[in-house]
Amino acid sequence: RVSALGARGRRGLSSEGSQVLKCSHYHRAWSLYRALNPRGGVTEDRSHASRVTEDRGGRIFKMRCLQSQAIVTPAASRALSWGGTMRRYGKTIPQFHAMKPRKQRRCLSIKALDSRKPEAGWKLSDRDYPEGEVILGMEIRMHSAKAALVDIANAEFHRPGVTTYLDELSVQSVQEAVKKITNHYHWKGPVGVSVTRAVTRVLGNQAAGKQLEAMMPESKGKVATMIHTEAAAYAEMYFGPGRECPGLVLVVTVGTGMGTVTYNLGQKVRNSDLKHLTWTYERELGKMREKWGWKGVAPELPEDCDPIIKQIIKSPPSKYSKDGSVGLMDCPEYEKIDGMKPVIAWAYLVDRYLQKVAEAVKPDKLVLLTTGAAAALPEELLVPLFTPAITGAGLKPDVLVMGDFPERALVKGAAVGAHIELGRRAAGEVFRAALTKTITGNPQPREIFEQDLLWAFKRLDRDKDGVLGRSDLLDGAQFFGTSLSDAEATGLLRDFTGGMMESATPDQFLSWYQRILEIALARVVEVHNVDEFEHYVESALEKSASSGMVQEDGALVVLECGYTHCRPCMKFEKTYELVAKKYVDCLFLRVLGDESPGAAHLCRDVLEVQGTPEFRFFRGKKLLHVMRGADKSKLENSLQSLLKEGEV
């Protein structure tokens, strides 16, 4: 990889195939061009619009300086090699020397692990600086991981994206791919990760989010994980056709499976998954592939299909027959083109499931996003083929629209979703702390009497209508010594109501506080690798007791070691959490040795755990005691014997 002009230059590929060397200033680009072609007779045009020069060998080199981009043809670049730097006019410019021509190779930090065809380029933003926050969006599938830095203000790529391939679908392969990507960008900021359901199953379903966060320790606490359907929905709702609809929007993704996400008033509705209606789609799709003999998530169109496509567009079907035909048997072209029959059969399968979800939700707008091979099918063909599902559900045909982001939608959606989810979490915790401080005088999480919470509800209810709306939160938050942005207030209201209502009742407000309090009061911290464990042990050195004292060798640290297949370990989890709430001056940790490779290394190689559940007691980085067995009395006796004066 060439680093032109120090850290300020970047090398990539233009859409014409020329190598692009981006520099911070025009004169730097021009100096670089002169270095690339020292023998050429240069004719300089002061308009800075174009440069044309011819060397003695008769080769033509073209340079275009638009927004400080020097474009050199691949043939010229291959004849040159990096030869260090030199000082000229107080500037550092690169020096090159001639070398033998060699076979062109991809200039990517992350190389493909197999001989797959390179993907199309990532279209970069034309802006010099991002308009909003930049977040790393990541898409992980069964065979590959893609990622790019996304400007969430406009869903544009801030830097070229990268792709790395997985040898196999395993925790270790996913971890290696994630590490390659984060190292490539030197990234320590927020990350949005979109995964397939297959990847989720490999990572442990409910533990998938924790596993992925553990793979990125530099971004701990700033990682949001979602399935592909959710990521696609975020992209469509905030930068696609969904943003124009203020009502109920159903986003449907069609690929190997069928996924759905429901939005109401621009906010995602919780617990609205329609998997009970679509879970058999993947199985029926597999049977159809075997019957018709095609691979992938959808069949390909034959080359001579234009007549039948025109016929479908001209006379769209009103309904399907039982065999999946669309009533076009009178069309002679249909009989001639056998390759269209699998497409019609696939469309009939999708149509049946679309009708199910449309009847269940009755949306104001249904946004359909096709993925994989299905994304290659033309929109003018898909819309008439899927219209019978919409009309069959009692909706108007214009309810169905196709998504705007078939390419890279998941990377963009993951970044946008991370911005929303992480911001909502932070806003909820800030509001909880302000509420607790106003009532108790201390922002630390604690139980609050119901009458005190109802008093706070009345203070927030500025228009005195008995419910909390968005304007109530915006105005009422100032009474508690904080402020909320419009987006934060909308997200907080969604947390109160689950996204289905425009206002929150007192009961919903009380339930929200109990939910967020349980999260804030969680006394047992999960660790996933050696680095996390050492971090918490070091942080315990400065932890103060409830009396305000700080022990010379720090607080007592208790680590529970177990495995997910260990029944006593799983059964003792609740008991361990109750003990942790009782001894507030201690730091309680838990590691599951089969949850991730890092956790396995910690238990097997570092701690050398012999039996589970095993409890280890540390103070000042020193191991004081080891206890085995799921025995609450024995655990508390060990704790009391190791506590110092002033500790609880």
The predicted structure's pLDDT at residue 50: 34
Task: Delimit the CATH 1.10.238.10 region(s) of the chain.
Answer: 412-520
| 87 pLDDT above the threshold of 60 | no
Mean pLDDT (whole number) for 379-408: 84
Mean pLDDT (whole number) for 549-566: 83
SS3 category, 167: coil
Mean pLDDT (whole number) for 68-91: 38
Q: Which of 65, 69, 51 is nearest to 12 (CA)?
A: 69
Beta strands across the sheet bearing 587-592:
524-526, 587-592, 557-562, 614-619, 622-628
What are the backbone angles phi and psi of residue 73, rounded to the nearest 5°?
-65, 150
Structure confidence at residue 331 as a pLDDT band (50, 70, 90): very low
Mean pLDDT value across the chain: 75
| 626 pLDDT above the threshold of 80 | yes
Q: Is 90 left (phi over 0), alpha (psi -120 to 50) or beta?
A: left
The single-letter code of the amino acid at 175 is Q
The predicted structure's pLDDT at residue 596: 77
* Type and span of the H or E element at 307: helix 306-314
Structure tokens at 58: 């008769």
Mean pLDDT (whole number) for 126-132: 68
- Residue 228, classified by CB atoms within 10 Å of its CB into exposed (0-12), middle (13-18) or buried (19+), is buried
The predicted structure's pLDDT at residue 550: 56
pLDDT in tens, 286-329: 998 888 888 888 888 877 777 777 777 777 766 655 544 444 44
SS3 category, 402: strand
Mutual angle of helices 409-440 and 450-460, in 10-degree steps: 110
Distance separating alpha carbons of residues 395 and 430, to the nearest angstrom:
42
Check residues 358 and 81 and name the one with the higher pLDDT: 358
| 115 pLDDT above the threshold of 80 | no
pLDDT in tens, 335-347: 455 667 888 888 8
Q: What is the DSSP letter of 317?
A: -
CB 431 within 8 A of CB 252: no
Structure tokens at 308: 């039948």
Range scoring the smallest mean pLDDT among 16-20, 541-545, 564-568: 16-20
| 487 pLDDT above the threshold of 50 | yes
Check residues 504 and 89 and name the one with the higher pLDDT: 504
CB 496 within 8 A of CB 509: yes
CATH (residue range 524-642): 3.40.30.10
| 410 pLDDT above the threshold of 80 | yes
Share of the chain above pLDDT 70, in %: 73
85-94, 113-122, 143-152, range with greatest mean pLDDT: 143-152
Q: What is the dihedral of CA 124, 127, 133, 137, to 10 degrees?
A: 0
DSSP letters, 624-646, are EEEEESS-HHHHHHHHHHHPPTT
Give the position of tokens 């005088």.
441
Mean pLDDT (whole number) for 17-40: 45
The predicted structure's pLDDT at residue 551: 65
Q: Which of 34, 31, 29, 36 is nearest to 79 (CA)?
A: 36
Distance separating alpha carbons of residues 481 and 476, to the nearest angstrom:
9
CA-based end-to-end distance of the chain? 58
Measured CA to CA in angstroms, residue 203 lies from 169, 171, 551, 567 at distances of: 10, 6, 39, 20
| 354 pLDDT above the threshold of 90 | yes
- Residue 95, classified by CB atoms within 10 Å of its CB into exposed (0-12), middle (13-18) or buried (19+), is middle
Mean pLDDT (whole number) for 615-632: 91
Range scoring the smallest mean pLDDT among 75-89, 222-236, 270-284, 589-603: 75-89
Mean pLDDT (whole number) for 68-94: 39
Check residues 342 and 124 and name the one with the higher pLDDT: 342
Rg of the Cα atoms in the chain: 30
The predicted structure's pLDDT at residue 305: 75
CA geometry: angle at 94 spanning 93 and 98, to 5°? 145
Specify whether domain 108-240 bears CATH 3.30.460.10. no
Distance separating alpha carbons of residues 98 and 38, to the nearest angstrom:
11
The predicted structure's pLDDT at residue 93: 40
The predicted structure's pLDDT at residue 539: 80
The predicted structure's pLDDT at residue 79: 38
CB 592 within 8 A of CB 204: no
Mean pLDDT (whole number) for 167-179: 91
Distance separating alpha carbons of residues 530 and 219, to the nearest angstrom:
16
Measured CA to CA in angstroms, residue 538 lies from 228, 343, 507, 602, 618 at distances of: 38, 61, 42, 16, 11
Q: Which of 565, 556, 610 is nearest to 583 (CA)?
A: 556
| 73 pLDDT above the threshold of 50 | no
For 83-128, the three-class secondary structure string (H helix, E strand, C coil) is EEEEEECCEEEEEEEECCCCCCCCCCCCCCCCCCCCCCCCCECCCC
Structure confidence at residue 63 as a pLDDT band (50, 70, 90): very low
Structure confidence at residue 559 as a pLDDT band (50, 70, 90): very high
131-145, 306-320, 451-465, 485-499, range with greatest mean pLDDT: 451-465
Distance separating alpha carbons of residues 23 and 312, to the nearest angstrom:
51
The single-letter code of the amino acid at 553 is D
The predicted structure's pLDDT at residue 320: 59
Structure confidence at residue 635 as a pLDDT band (50, 70, 90): very high
Task: Delimit the CATH 3.30.420.40 region(s) of the chain.
Answer: 108-240
pLDDT in tens, 429-475: 888 888 988 998 888 788 889 999 999 999 999 999 999 998 999 89
Specify whether domain 412-520 bears CATH 1.10.238.10. yes
Structure tokens at 589: 């940790």
The predicted structure's pLDDT at residue 330: 43
Fold of the CATH domain 247-403: Nucleotidyltransferase; domain 5 (3.30.420)
Q: Which of 317, 227, 202, 207 is nearest to 278 (CA)?
A: 227
Task: Delimit the CATH 3.40.30.10 region(s) of the chain.
Answer: 524-642
DSSP letters, 561-605, are EE-TT-HHHHHTHHHHHHHHHH-TTSEEEEEETTS-HHHHHIIII
What are the backbone angles phi and psi of residue 325, rounded to the nearest 5°?
-80, 160
- Residue 117, classified by CB atoms within 10 Å of its CB into exposed (0-12), middle (13-18) or buried (19+), is exposed
Range scoring the smallest mean pLDDT among 155-164, 197-206, 598-607: 197-206
Distance separating alpha carbons of residues 336 and 329, to the nearest angstrom:
11
| 543 pLDDT above the threshold of 80 | no
Omega of the bond leading into 217 within 30 degrees of 0 (cis): no
Q: Which of 198, 211, 212, 101 is nearest to 147 (CA)?
A: 212
pLDDT in tens, 39-53: 443 333 333 333 333
CB 237 within 8 A of CB 403: no
The predicted structure's pLDDT at residue 196: 87
Distance separating alpha carbons of residues 275 and 264, to the nearest angstrom:
19
The single-letter code of the amino acid at 121 is G
The predicted structure's pLDDT at residue 549: 55
Check residues 80 and 170 and name the one with the higher pLDDT: 170
Max CA pair span of the chain: 93
The predicted structure's pLDDT at residue 12: 39
Q: Which of 269, 240, 158 is nearest to 409 (CA)?
A: 240
| 605 pLDDT above the threshold of 50 | yes
Distance separating alpha carbons of residues 472 and 504, to the nearest angstrom:
10
Structure confidence at residue 97 as a pLDDT band (50, 70, 90): very low
CB 448 within 8 A of CB 520: no
Measured CA to CA in angstroms, residue 374 lies from 104, 292, 305, 355, 438 at distances of: 33, 16, 16, 19, 55
